[in-house]
Amino acid sequence: MQSDLKRVLYSQEEIAARLDQLAVQITEDYHGKDLTVLAVLNGSLIFMSDLLRRIPLPLQLDCLRVKSYYGGTVSTGRVQFDHAALPLVHGRHVLLLDDILDSGNTLASIIETIRLEAGPLSLKSCVLLRKMKKRSLSIEADYVGFDIEDEFVVGYGLDYQERYRNLPLIGVLKTEEC
């Protein structure tokens, strides 16, 4: 699988070191608060697992299954998830975890829905990767693992047609693979 990569952006060790830093910041920010972490599946599963093991706080965890890429390499702009499946977070501090901030459509849609329908005390977002590009929506993540160029990346939970999620690193996929 690694031979399908144009280049490696972040090694397993670099990712682990950055997660250590994020965990310290999140732990400080949420110390003494009722925290619920909502992970966006499937992409953030590995990120969520590794990050949360580094956060020594009592917290609740739930997941949202969201679609926006539909097997391609570019977000379609259509965000699909079951609003009725939103977890109970009323009166709690919520940290939303996602794998990548690309167009911003997914993050914006989830944040708007949670704010309007679930009534959290606070809502922040944390992404493993943020593509450095102009977005049509004015949305930013509160916590960012790494900034990357506008390239299609895989590994560490990120996929292309449900492949490459299990790579322990993050790399740019060769264009002929897409």
**Could you tell me if residue 176 is inside a domain?**
no
Confidence band for 74, pLDDT divided at 50, 70 and 90: low
- Residue 95 pLDDT exceeds 90: yes
Say if residues 64 and 98 touch (Cβ distance below 8 Å): no
**Could you tell me if residue 61 is inside a domain?**
yes
Digit-coded pLDDT (tens) for 26-45? 999 999 999 999 999 888 99
Nearest partner of 38 among 102, 131, 117, judged by Cα: 117
**Could you tell me if residue 158 is inside a domain?**
no
Task: Assign residue 37 the CATH number of its domain.
Answer: 3.40.50.2020
Number of domains in the chain: 1
Distances (CA, A) of 49 to 37, 45, 68, 98: 11, 6, 22, 12
Give the percent of the chain with pLDDT over 70.
88
Q: Across 14-18, 69-73, 107-111, 113-117, which has the greatest mean pLDDT?
A: 14-18
Confidence band for 69, pLDDT divided at 50, 70 and 90: low
Catalytic residue among 98, 102, 147, 159: 102
Say if residues 39 and 63 touch (Cβ distance below 8 Å): yes
**Could you tell me if residue 175 is inside a domain?**
no
Give the percent of the chain with pLDDT over 90.
65
**Could you tell me if residue 137 is inside a domain?**
yes
The parent domain of residue 34 ranges over 13-149
DSSP state of 31: T
Taking the complete model, does pTM exceed 0.85, yes or no?
yes
Confirm whether 102 is a catalytic residue: yes
**Could you tell me if residue 101 is inside a domain?**
yes
**Could you tell me if residue 98 is inside a domain?**
yes
Digit-coded pLDDT (tens) for 121-178? 999 999 999 999 988 778 999 999 999 999 999 999 999 998 999 999 999 999 766 5
Looking at residue 178, what is its pLDDT?
A: 52
Looking at residue 79, what is its pLDDT?
A: 63
**Could you tell me if residue 62 is inside a domain?**
yes
List the 5-10 sheet strands across, edge first.
5-10, 170-173, 153-154
157: alpha, beta or left, given left = phi > 0 and alpha = psi -120 to 50? left
